[in-house]
Structure 1
């Protein structure tokens, strides 16, 4: 069940958790007579359906990415998903029925659905650690070692072997992995079958040797999946590798930055949320500005040039969190516990209050609520020279929060920028309203934790 590559089983499981959670709650409440028997079934079916959608919006779609979540992410995602589903169903019931759910129904249904969602994901994570996905490599090259090291350090994967048509001339591969020379495709497939290999990862480029090509053709008959390194990383780690990139990736799904219904819906949501955010927070701005000025001299609103959609520069606005002479030595990477940050500035950064003026950027259209964080032109020029596809992050509007901020956090070096880019590219390739909502929901607990 847990190693199944079919997402339908998880959909059925989540639906049953939601259905029985609300159905039991409606039948054991002291006020059971309020709800007609037929309505109990229909409402429970609706809650099950909503729970399936909501937990996926909150990042708990279990298929492929169970290993990547911490216990905290599982709990927070379950709480968000169950609450979202319950609110939706409660609103529907409140509109269509005379009676609304009481506290007994609410506490019981939420408690049971939370228990079911958390327990199923915890068991999934535990099962994968005890029975990891068994992986075999086809092809031996320099990139295999780094890719293999990443999988070796993860308890949810076990590397069975590395194979190639020819003799391997890379000592690191010979010493680290069980190496096999592919001489007979049928015999090799039988070996993989006997070793219970789940996935074969091709490490070849555009040219695949004939014997290996025959192996790849026959593996589906052994119920063994074949992927390249880039596809494996995208599925199981939800990022796009700039090291394993190829033409097949960016021709398979390319975002048109200047059109599309998704961008129109995204813009409408940006305008609505930014206007609402400004209306709710503007009364507090004078106090924030006063506190900033009392701590250090200089303007309270910080302005800086950033790179936006399609490489166009714009001016970003933030509450100032550093002293006036913070960059007297030129542009510098910001870092965790940056000594240039003031005491008040540290609080503003942790709480993300310093980002509030960027709601004006969102309203103007310079930015969006969701997207890659905009970088300074000085750093962009530098990073484009050393990181492939770096400018691709500007195929979509920059945002207040993004997939990279959720998955990786703060970065203060070129290597950090490379890792964050891989998450940004995943966002670009999988650009959708569903992913937008998932990022928005997963940003809330990060703000509560002050993870910055």
Structure 2
């Protein structure tokens, strides 16, 4: 609902800004003048909204009140201004259509002012105690502490922790003891009423699960929203808490996925995007190949073994970003500032251009455009020993990009692999055509920003 309100607010501001701009520019707002500008600016506004989306401006967890967020807003406005000029002067201008130089300039200024004010108001509204949901947490464990941290540091999520019920006397860190803590589960309903609770999250603790369920059932008339911790944590973070997972979670959430229709559409998208971007990549391949060759002797493209769907080993293709014989002492993770990476290699790795030959893997069917990134067999064997359910990321085809890649920076440790797995499992559970297209758009944006040095 919050995302919808944010989107509707932006759309209303765009058209209000256009109306105000036309009135300032022409001293009137006639029906004829409005109709003349409506269609071309509707196209432009659609582009603007897509740019806002792929840059995360509709992700509530990223709606903050700091300079970084407002800097991102301004950067998006500049990008949209440039795209608008391209549309009006390189496309419509060549057709002898509308070329609203002054109107566009005034519009950008007016919308920028209104947009920044609107986003400030929206942040204050969703962060205010008046509109926040009062949250009660039943049970303390590692995952619930992570949840408390997430809620307390991100008021824009719209939750205020009002009560902790700790029936098994688990230790609560000092910094969270400002919140009322109760061990009295028997009087749960009275406490929910006292603190005006409208959202309850319960940990998956078998020791007091039936007892909690009984007292929650007695409170059913309060019309409170109930969540188990795993589902609520997923809802506000976009990832799955690994230490809370059990086998039944996969049976409940994964076994019903991958309908034949979804897989068919996904395969069509894979073929379309790999052919489209593959042809673009071929245009720049000679230049990239020359730069690789000039800096370091050796092959331009190299191959590696990776683990795919169902644990099947396949050969992946990449542009060489390291010096020749970089792994003569065996496979190891690339690290930040790795001396084996060449200068051109740093650029193509950061911009993900080194992965471009994998369009061929997608066409072959070894990979999909979107999915968990495939790892090397040596690393998979190591990580399976350290991370429970790590092998379950192979329930779907690996991808050229994925949910983990747009939400988590490059990692080179077991802890990083855990974080990426939590995002991968979120994708596997929630995979859909809409989510795939969203990930592709955000990946394109990442490549575009890195290529331009932003």
Report the TM-score, using the length of structure 2 for normalisation: 0.79
What aligned pairs does 1:273-288 form with structure 2 within 5 A after superposition? 273-288=273-288
> Which is further off, 348-357 or 231-240?
348-357
What aligned pairs does 1:94-113 form with structure 2 within 5 A after superposition? 99-100=97-98, 102-113=100-111
Q: How many residues align?
A: 438
Measured against aligned partners, the alpha-carbon deviations of 1:353-400 in whole angstroms (never above 9, x if no partner) come to 322222222333322332221111111222223323323333333222
Measured against aligned partners, the alpha-carbon deviations of 1:176-233 in whole angstroms (never above 9, x if no partner) come to 433212332331122221xxx45322113466344554336636736x4322221222
Taking the aligned partners of 1:119 and 1:394, their CA distance within structure 2 comes to: 46
What aligned pairs does 1:311-350 form with structure 2 within 5 A after superposition? 311-350=311-350
Taking the aligned partners of 1:169 and 1:329, their CA distance within structure 2 comes to: 51
Taking the aligned partners of 1:118 and 1:158, their CA distance within structure 2 comes to: 26
The question of whether the paired residues in 2 share the 8 Å contact of 1:234 and 1:426 is answered with yes
Taking the aligned partners of 1:325 and 1:236, their CA distance within structure 2 comes to: 44
Taking the aligned partners of 2:106 and 2:254, their CA distance within structure 1 comes to: 44
Please state if 1:390 is matched with 2:399. Answer: no
Query: 1:117 and 1:239, CA in 2 relative to 1: closer, same or farther beyond 3 A?
Result: farther
Query: 1:49 and 1:339, CA in 2 relative to 1: closer, same or farther beyond 3 A?
Result: closer
Query: 1:42 and 1:446, CA in 2 relative to 1: closer, same or farther beyond 3 A?
Result: closer
Partner of 2:252: 251
Please state if 1:16 is matched with 2:12. Answer: yes
Within the candidate set 139, 162, 178, 1:160 is matched to 162
Taking the aligned partners of 1:329 and 1:172, their CA distance within structure 2 comes to: 47
Taking the aligned partners of 1:335 and 1:100, their CA distance within structure 2 comes to: 52
The question of whether the paired residues in 1 share the 8 Å contact of 2:370 and 2:400 is answered with yes
Measured against aligned partners, the alpha-carbon deviations of 1:31-78 in whole angstroms (never above 9, x if no partner) come to 989972673697499669948974556543355664699617952895
Measured against aligned partners, the alpha-carbon deviations of 1:111-149 in whole angstroms (never above 9, x if no partner) come to 555555554344434555564764321123454344434
Taking the aligned partners of 2:396 and 2:49, their CA distance within structure 1 comes to: 25
Q: Which runs of 5+ in 1 are unaligned?
A: none
Q: How far did 1:150 drift?
A: 4.6
Please state if 1:239 is matched with 2:239. Answer: yes
Partner of 2:189: 186
The question of whether the paired residues in 2 share the 8 Å contact of 1:78 and 1:118 is answered with no
Cα-Cα RMSD:
4.2
Taking the aligned partners of 2:316 and 2:29, their CA distance within structure 1 comes to: 58
The question of whether the paired residues in 2 share the 8 Å contact of 1:274 and 1:359 is answered with yes
What aligned pairs does 1:48-87 form with structure 2 within 5 A after superposition? 50=46, 54=50, 55-56=52-53, 59-62=56-59, 66=63, 71=69, 75=73, 79=77
Query: 1:269 and 1:29, CA in 2 relative to 1: closer, same or farther beyond 3 A?
Result: farther
The question of whether the paired residues in 2 share the 8 Å contact of 1:140 and 1:203 is answered with yes
The question of whether the paired residues in 2 share the 8 Å contact of 1:140 and 1:173 is answered with no
Q: How far did 1:352 drift?
A: 2.7
Q: How far did 1:100 drift?
A: 3.9
Taking the aligned partners of 1:147 and 1:409, their CA distance within structure 2 comes to: 21
